[in-house]
Structure 1
Amino acid sequence: MLFDRWSDLGRVLLVGGAAYVALVLMLRLSGPRTLSKLNAFDLVVTVALGSTLATVLLSSDVSLAEGLLAFAVLIGLQFLVTWTSVRWRGFNKLVKSEPVMLVHQGRLLPLAMRRARVVEDEVRSVLREQGVARLEEVEAVVLETDGSMSVIRQHDAPSETLSRMRAPDSELAPFH
């Protein structure tokens, strides 16, 4: 079936446009942190916002007002979680992972890589993307909280950073 009624198509256009504009405005008002690089919590909120938008668009059982309230609840909860995590370190640890050092002074850290579920090929791929030919050129590779990897070359790391950066006592220790 192509469609049931013209009024259903009109509803999708009207409610969809209004919901889209409202969502964009709410996200702009909530600040850039709402959809920053994604950690697990951010991903859940982003998927929930998309699902809510789809439901508002396609389900005549959900009114525009209910959809807008759902957007506000999700964005409000995201704001509350980020606000709390900035002010309370324990809460931050609860909702976010910590960075993990995967390479230190040109050496892969196999236990840390296994615990982080990262294979050597992934690390070497990131090194190639950064133009690093040899592992020995790297001071550190850190798996960041958003899942990306940061590469610190030996010649790029300032001496004060190098003196503070040390091999973890245990390969499983997070990088700070």
Structure 2
Amino acid sequence: MTAIVWWDAARAFLMALGLYAFVVLAFRAGKRRTVAELAPFDLAAVIAVGAIVGRTATGGNPLAVGITAVAGLPVGHAVVSRLRHLRSFRALVDHPTSVLVVDGRIRPVELRRSGLTRGDLEAALRSHGVQDIGDVAVAVFETRNGVSILTKHGPAPLWQHLSDEESATASSD
């Protein structure tokens, strides 16, 4: 490889590293939710950052343009986050909650409207430690794409989820 090719590779590496540091600082200044929970507008910001960083690091954009574009994304994200307090705007960026199960009965229309399958619902029930759908008082598909499950008997005690060995260790502490 020629010296110019090595310099281009080193430049791309350093640009990507610098842009990554800038992105971390820019998103750190925002709300923790920006990274912890990906709503559609959060995901759009992450994808846009990736595109800008990739194009800038490989020489498609000047560094100043890349940094300016990345700096604009948290501003746009903050505006969208604030506008979500308006009901009419929230309907544009967040999907509504859907009640999927009531008193142990699946609501197929709500399941389809949410884009979920029965298998998705069963996986959510298993992840919440629910073995019998008849035990579910209500299951709600939340705005942030998670399923909240409330059982008729309340949450199962922690020790019911531990193996015998873990349970014995926990009780001796």
TM-score range, shorter chain: 0.7 to 0.9
Partner of 2:5: 5
| Mapping for residues 8-157 of structure 1, pairs under 5 Å | 8-58=8-58, 60-86=59-85, 88-156=86-154
User: Secondary structure, in 3 states, of the residue corresponding to 1:5?
Assistant: helix
- Number of residues paired by the alignment? 155
Shift of 1:89: 2.2
Q: Work out which structure has the larger RCO, using CA pairs closer than 8 Å and 6 or more positions apart in sequence.
A: 1
Shift of 1:138: 0.5
CA offsets per residue over residues 110-132 of structure 1, 9 Å max, x none?
11112222221211121112111
State the one-letter code of the partner of 2:82.
W
Alignment TM-score, normalising by the size of structure 1 = 0.80
What stretches of structure 1 of length at least 5 have no aligned partner? 158-176
Alignment TM-score, normalising by the size of structure 2 = 0.81
CA contact (8 A) 1:34 1:79 kept: no
Residues 1:152 and 1:7: Cα distance change in structure 2 (over 3 Å): same
Residues 1:89 and 1:7: Cα distance change in structure 2 (over 3 Å): same
Identity of aligned residues (%): 29
Q: What is the rounded CA distance, in whole Å, between the counterparts of 2:96 and 2:77 in structure 1?
A: 19
Moved over 3 A (4+): 1-4
CA offsets per residue over residues 21-66 of structure 1, 9 Å max, x none?
11111111122132231122211111111111111212x1311111
User: Secondary structure, in 3 states, of the residue corresponding to 1:38?
Assistant: coil
CA contact (8 A) 1:139 1:153 kept: yes
State the one-letter code of the partner of 1:62.
N
Out of 130-139 and 143-152, give the one that drifted further: 143-152
